[in-house]
Chain A
Amino acid sequence: MDDVTEHVDRLVTRSATGDDVVRGPHFTSDALPVTDDVITVDCISPSLSVSTDVYAAGLNSALQRWSKVEPQSVSLNAIVNVSGWKPPKPKVLTFGLTFPEAVTFLPSAEKKPDEDLRPIAPPKPESEPATPAGSTEAELLGVEMPKKPLTRIKPPKDALSLEDRLFYLLQPPLQTWLAGQELIMPFEPFPYQYEGIGWLFSHSSALLADEMGLGKTMQTITAIRLLVRGGQARRVLLVCPKPLLPNWQREFRTWAEELPFVVVEGDTDRRKLTYTMPGVPVLIANYESLVRDFAAFNEGEFPKFDLVVLDEAQRIKNRTSRTAETMRALPRRRSWALTGTPIENRPEELGALYEFIEVIPPNGTPDLKQLQTLAKEFILRRTKDLVMKDMPPRLDRDEILELSPGQRYAYDQAEKEGIVHLNELGDQISVQHVFELVLRLKQITNWDPLTNESTKLDRLDADMEEIAASGGKAILFSQWTKTIDWLASRMEPYGALVYHGGVPTKQREPILDQFKHDPDKHILLMSYGTGAVGLNLQFAGYVFLYDRWWNPAIEDQAINRAHRIGCKSQVIVTRFICKDTIEERIDRVLREKRELFATILGEGDNLNRSLSLNASEIFGLFELKARHGKGTRTIGPKPPEAA
């Protein structure tokens, strides 16, 4: 029951008037438990009149209203205005690049083609039927000819602006450029030469270090030609050793017949005038005169060049030399260095070349790692082994000779006296003393001045008899002009010609010409200093090294006068070495140096080793011990100088 009361209490609330009011829901029988007790419930009836608020939105009355329709007559011929929409044309921004105007030259006079040169498009034999108009060779043959790979010029890494990069990217492939249309090429370059030309063209700082005989001269001239013809350079200064002046003139005439050049020569006033003369694209000067001429100009007055090229750039390996300082001071926009031997003795020599091509700061001393990093970007070096796989081989043979009795006596006497003298010097002994003895002994192995005996001459004579009989030609190298002159009279039967520093420059070119064309001239006697660089003697099949130079790189340069592009048959290199003499000992050291040289250029692990003979090594030739110093010293004769 209590439950029922509580339930009712919740439903019945007391009104404000004091009456109890029942709030819904309405009672149902289910709502209350059924019991027997009587429950009295007060019921009230709430009023149903509930007031509501209705908003007058007007909709109802609008819906009730009839629409008003007013028909109107329209003429079908009337003009109706229709608004149109057209998609806007996209806004396009442009970027442009105008190429420099090419320099044009007067066409050169027609001349007969040199029979030694291989034209790109050889004239067809008269008997061959003419190609029908509009048909290519491939079309006529009905086959698709394989296309030769084209060499495109790549922008250098230091070309940062878009204009610079596009300039190189938009140049035609070199094969197209040099296909004899705009630029006549006497014969077609090899693929690696195209690569070299393109590389030089796109580099403001470049060290072309191809092995001797791969055509550095031709690649350089062609790159210069492209720069001048492309409006990139108007004044070029080429610097080379004096003996190579005729060589460069000849090569310019061959490879860039339309390109005017002037050799800086004559008296001081004339030379000065030549440097300032306008309208000459290429000037060729030699190191020695340029050093003097540069000094003759007031500071800042020397004319600026678009390009300065140093041939045989190892000339400036000594940074503090006057030559090196002058070359670095030349006002220029581009710097190229050419050398087959970027390292003659020490890797540090590269630093001097880097300084000239302005990729390191003045007096900068890059470490070995930096040298190698710079080499990747600024040095292009190819070897014959890599690029000329089809070139005839070079056969090296060492002729170990016994000294004649007269020579042996003279040699033994000299050595004995020399060593006694060295020992007597005691602590006063120097490398120079030892070196003097070496030279004296080497001269005796060439020939004994007292008896005129020479075992080398005997062997040479035998070889030359055979070479001359077969119509061959040979080049002989010696360190001494005296030896060459001595040999000249003895080689007279073989038409010996002499080419060394004592021969006046003007006579040298005719001598080379005579050696090439005169069938009776079978041997050319040359000094390392004058004949080792820059000459093209690939028609000679034999090279004799009568005595040995101190540096294997110089020996290689000499040998490569004959073993170079264009040689048609193998080149036999003979080294004369006298048994049980200083020559055998020097040969051993040279072999070791050659191996080291190869290691450095191959970027091996022994980069920090010096290639020069050190004091211990030179003393070791006589089993003496160095008394002074442990460091590296240059003990060889002066490097080959221009005569």
Chain B
Amino acid sequence: MSVKDAQDQFRLGFLAAVEDAERGVVGGLLVTNRFGRPLEFQCTTPVKPNRTQQILYGPTLRPYLLAEVIGRTLLDKVSVKPHLVLIEADELLDLRTHVDMPVASFVAKPAKDDESILRVGQQWLAFHAEYAVDRTAVQKRASQVPDTADLKEPFERIREALTETLKGPAARSA
């Protein structure tokens, strides 16, 4: 396999976070190749909103933290850029408005054909409504991912890794 081929291989980003009651939210981004083998991992130190932010953001605080603060920071920082970012909660789809790569969340298998939903591996993906072009872009590469691939599995790895980072003394709050 040439270097160019390797660069063209479909790369997936998995964005997840874990919350620690005392220290706040820690976010992690795992970039893998199309088979799920890790290429790069980036995580944040714990982020804890102050009282002012809690009051002002209200119920939008969590999406703001996860998408705009953590997600955007991690995607800026990662050196191996993914071709698709996967998230578990569709409330974070707005991350798409802050980054220039497709973002998708998991949905249940549609009862009938739905043009906005795409199957990759074992899962069905929904994209941001304002970025219809994302589905087309991902569809071109989706066949590189094996049909048997479980795209939810890497989130387990991230959560385990983030829990590990919280154990260490390095996990100081920002």
Binding site for B on A (CB under 8 A): 87, 89-99, 102, 104, 134, 136, 139, 150, 162, 165-166, 169-173, 176-177, 179, 181-182, 230
| Contact yes or no, A169 B44, CB < 8 A | no
Let me know if B122 is at the binding interface, CB within 8 A.
Answer: yes
| Contact yes or no, B157 A95, CB < 8 A | no
With A95-B170, A169-B157, A170-B161 given, is the CB distance from A90 to B39 under 8 Å?
Answer: no
| Contact yes or no, B150 A170, CB < 8 A | no
Let me know if B115 is at the binding interface, CB within 8 A.
Answer: no
In the complex, which residues of chain B have a beta carbon less than 8 angstroms from the beta carbon of A99? 37-41
Let me know if B85 is at the binding interface, CB within 8 A.
Answer: no
In the complex, which residues of chain B have a beta carbon less than 8 angstroms from the beta carbon of A230? 37
With A92-B47, A94-B73, A96-B78 given, is the CB distance from A162 to B37 under 8 Å?
Answer: no
Specify the chain A residue showing the minimal Cβ separation from B45: A93
Q: Kindly provide the distance from the CB of B117 to the nearest chain A CB, expressed in whole angstroms.
A: 11
Q: List residues 20-53 of chain B with CB under 8 A from any CB of chain A.
A: 30, 32, 35-45, 47-49, 52-53
Specify the chain A residue showing the minimal Cβ separation from B78: A96
In the complex, which residues of chain A have a beta carbon less than 8 angstroms from the beta carbon of B109? 139
| Contact yes or no, A90 B69, CB < 8 A | yes
Binding site for A on B (CB under 8 A): 1, 6, 30, 32, 35-45, 47-49, 52-53, 56-57, 65, 68-70, 73-74, 77-80, 109, 119, 122, 146-150, 153-154, 157-158, 160-161, 164-165, 168, 170, 174
With A92-B69, A102-B37, A104-B1 given, is the CB distance from A87 to B157 under 8 Å?
Answer: no
In the complex, which residues of chain A have a beta carbon less than 8 angstroms from the beta carbon of B79? 96, 98
Q: How far is the CA of A98 from the CA of B6 in the complex (A)?
A: 16
Given A87-B57, A93-B174, A172-B154; 4 other pairs, CB 8 A cutoff: A96-B78, A98-B40, A166-B164, A170-B158
Q: List 15 contacting pairs A-B, 8 Å CB cutoff, sorted by A.
A: A89-B69, A91-B174, A92-B44, A93-B44, A94-B73, A95-B165, A98-B79, A98-B80, A99-B38, A134-B119, A162-B165, A176-B150, A177-B35, A179-B146, A181-B146
| Contact yes or no, B80 A94, CB < 8 A | no
In the complex, which residues of chain B have a beta carbon less than 8 angstroms from the beta carbon of A181? 35, 146, 148-149
In the complex, which residues of chain B have a beta carbon less than 8 angstroms from the beta carbon of A87? 52-53, 56-57
| Contact yes or no, B40 A169, CB < 8 A | no
Which among B38, B56, B165 has the highest number of chain A CB atoms within 10 Å?
A: B38
With A92-B45, A96-B77, A162-B170 given, is the CB distance from A182 to B70 under 8 Å?
Answer: no
Q: How far is the CA of A326 from the CA of B74 in the complex (A)?
A: 49
Q: Which of the residues A94, A139, A150 comes within 8 Å of B74, measured between beta carbons? A: A94
Specify the chain B residue showing the minimal Cβ separation from A229: B37
| Contact yes or no, B38 A171, CB < 8 A | yes
| Contact yes or no, B35 A170, CB < 8 A | no
Q: Kindly provide the distance from the CB of A471 to the nearest chain B CB, expressed in whole angstroms.
A: 40
In the complex, which residues of chain B have a beta carbon less than 8 angstroms from the beta carbon of A136? 122, 147
| Contact yes or no, A92 B56, CB < 8 A | no
| Contact yes or no, A94 B40, CB < 8 A | no
With A170-B161, A171-B38, A181-B35 given, is the CB distance from A94 to B47 under 8 Å?
Answer: no
Q: Which of the residues B39, B73, B146 comes within 8 Å of A92, measured between beta carbons? A: B73
Q: Which of the residues A97, A104, A150 comes within 8 Å of B6, measured between beta carbons? A: A104
Which among B57, B68, B157 has the highest number of chain A CB atoms within 10 Å?
A: B157
Q: Which of the residues B36, B77, B174 comes within 8 Å of A172, measured between beta carbons? A: B36
Interface of B is mostly: mixed
| Contact yes or no, A177 B37, CB < 8 A | yes
With A91-B174, A96-B40, A181-B35 given, is the CB distance from A169 to B164 under 8 Å?
Answer: yes
Q: Kindly provide the distance from the CB of B8 to the nearest chain A CB, expressed in whole angstroms.
A: 14
| Contact yes or no, B73 A182, CB < 8 A | no
Q: How far is the CA of A90 from the CA of B146 in the complex (A)?
A: 39
| Contact yes or no, B153 A173, CB < 8 A | yes
Q: How far is the CA of A182 from the CA of B30 in the complex (A)?
A: 19
| Contact yes or no, B30 A170, CB < 8 A | yes
In the complex, which residues of chain A have a beta carbon less than 8 angstroms from the beta carbon of B148? 179, 181
Q: How far is the CA of A170 from the CA of B32 in the complex (A)?
A: 10
| Contact yes or no, B69 A170, CB < 8 A | no
With A134-B119, A177-B37 given, is the CB distance from A166 to B161 under 8 Å?
Answer: yes
Q: Kindly provide the distance from the CB of B34 to the nearest chain A CB, expressed in whole angstroms.
A: 8
Which among A90, A104, A171, A176 has the highest number of chain B CB atoms within 10 Å?
A: A90
In the complex, which residues of chain B have a beta carbon less than 8 angstroms from the beta carbon of A162? 164-165, 168, 170
Specify the chain B residue showing the minimal Cβ separation from A177: B37
| Contact yes or no, A182 B44, CB < 8 A | no
Q: How far is the CA of A182 from the CA of B79 in the complex (A)?
A: 23
Specify the chain A residue showing the minimal Cβ separation from B68: A89
In the complex, which residues of chain B have a beta carbon less than 8 angstroms from the beta carbon of A97? 40-42
| Contact yes or no, B150 A165, CB < 8 A | no
| Contact yes or no, A169 B161, CB < 8 A | yes
Question: Which 7 A-B residue pairings sit nearest by Cβ, starting from the closest?
Answer: A93-B45, A172-B36, A96-B42, A97-B41, A182-B35, A92-B73, A170-B38
In the complex, which residues of chain B have a beta carbon less than 8 angstroms from the beta carbon of A102? 37
In the complex, which residues of chain A have a beta carbon less than 8 angstroms from the beta carbon of B174? 90-93
Specify the chain A residue showing the minimal Cβ separation from B34: A181
In the complex, which residues of chain B have a beta carbon less than 8 angstroms from the beta carbon of A166? 41, 161, 164-165
Q: How far is the CA of A162 from the CA of B167 in the complex (A)?
A: 10
Q: How far is the CA of A104 from the CA of B6 in the complex (A)?
A: 10
In the complex, which residues of chain A have a beta carbon less than 8 angstroms from the beta carbon of B154? 172
In the complex, which residues of chain B have a beta carbon less than 8 angstroms from the beta carbon of A94? 42-45, 73-74, 77
| Contact yes or no, A95 B43, CB < 8 A | yes
In the complex, which residues of chain A have a beta carbon less than 8 angstroms from the beta carbon of B42? 94-97
